[in-house]
Structure 1
Amino acid sequence: MGIANIERRGTGRLRSVLAPLGVAAGTGAVLAFVGAVDPNEPGHYPACPFLWATRKIGLPLYCPGCGTLRTIHALAHLDPMAALGLNPLAVAMVPFLVFWWGRWLVRAWQGRPRRTTLAHPAWLWAFLGVVLVYWVVRNLPFGAFLAP
C-alpha cells in the first residue's frame, strides 16, 4: 500500500466523520447556550406554542416537550434530579440519542454506509405510543407529577 493510498484513506475517514462531529459541535453549542442563558427567567425564550394556545382557550395543557429547555439547563449544570422533575421523557432520551450518535460516528469512521432507517418501524411506533401516552398522562390529575 502506497503513501498516497494511506493519505487518501486518512483524509477520507476524516471527511466521513465531519457530519457526526458537526452534530456534536452543534449540540455542544446549544448545551452551552442553554446552560448560560437560564430558561427559568422570563423573556429569554419564547413560550411553548402548544401551552400558549391552550392557555388562550382557558385550558392550559403541556405538550411532551414542555420543560425540555429547563431540563437541558439542569443537565448542563449537572443536576439530573431537577431535570427529571421537569421532563423525565427528555432525560430518558439522552442515552438513546448518545447511543445513536455514537453508532453513526463509528459507522462513519469505519467507512460503512449510512443506514437509511433509524430503527425498526415497530420500535418507532412504540416510541410514538410512549410519547402520546406521556402527553396525555402528564395532563391528567393523577399524572401531575409529570408536569414541568
Structure 2
Amino acid sequence: MTDENQRVDASHTPLATPGPPGAAPAAPGRARRLAAPVLTLAVAASALGYVAAVDPYEPGHYPVCPLFRLTGILCPGCGGLRSAHAFAHGDLITALGANALAVIGYFVFAGFMIVWLIRAYRGGPTPRLALAPLYWWGIGAVALIFAVVRNLPFGSALAP
C-alpha cells in the first residue's frame, strides 16, 4: 500500500539545485552581494558629483524650494544643495553654514554605506534601518526644531 503523501510527482520537482539533496541553496557570490551597495554608492557619488559641478549659487540651475518661494519660510532641506556643493569641494565650514542637518545626514549615509559594503564583502546580513517608531518620531522632532529655530532671529546662524 502506497501512502499518497509520499508519492513524488516528477512535474513538481525543483529545477537543478547545486549540492546534495536537501542542502540549502548556495550563497550568492561576492560580486552579486556587492552589486547593490556599489550601485547605491555610484548613484550617490554621481549625484554629489553633479552638484559639485553645477553651482547652486548660480540662479536657474536648480528649482527654488516651494515652501520658501510661497511663504519665505526655510524648510529643513533649504540650503541642502549649497551644503552638498561645499561638502563636495571639501569646505565643511561652509557646508555646515548652509545646512548643518544635511551634513549630519551625509555622515550618517557614509557610515551606513561603510557598514553595508563591509557586510556585503564578508557575506554578512544586509544592514536595515529598523528603528523603533519612537526614534523616527525623534528624528522628525529634530528636523522640525531645526526648521523652526533657523527661521527665528536667534537661529539665523542656521539659515543658509
Query: Which of 84, 102, 105 is equivalent to 2:96?
Result: 84
Cα separation, 2, equivalents of 1:18 and 1:102: 14
1:1-148 aligned at under 5 Å gives the runs 12-54=29-71, 60-148=72-160
Larger relative helix fraction: 1
Which range is displaced more, 96-105 or 15-24? 96-105
Structure 2: unaligned runs, 5 residues or longer: 1-17, 20-25
Between the two proteins, the alignment pairs up a number of residues equal to: 137
Hey, what does 2:9 align to over in structure 1?
Answer: none
Superimposed CA distance per residue, residues 94-134 of structure 1 (whole angstroms, 9 cap, x where no aligned partner): 22111112122222223333355443433322211111100
Deviation at 1:44, TM superposition (A): 0.6
Which range is displaced more, 121-130 or 35-44? 121-130
Q: Tell me how large the CA RMSD over aligned residues is.
A: 2.1
The structure number with the bigger radius of gyration is 2
TM-score under structure 1 length normalisation? 0.82
Q: Which runs of 4+ in 1 moved over 4 A?
A: none
Q: Is the 8 A contact 2:120 2:126 kept in 1?
A: yes
Letter of the aligned partner of 2:47 in structure 1? V
**SS of match in other structure, 1:112:** coil
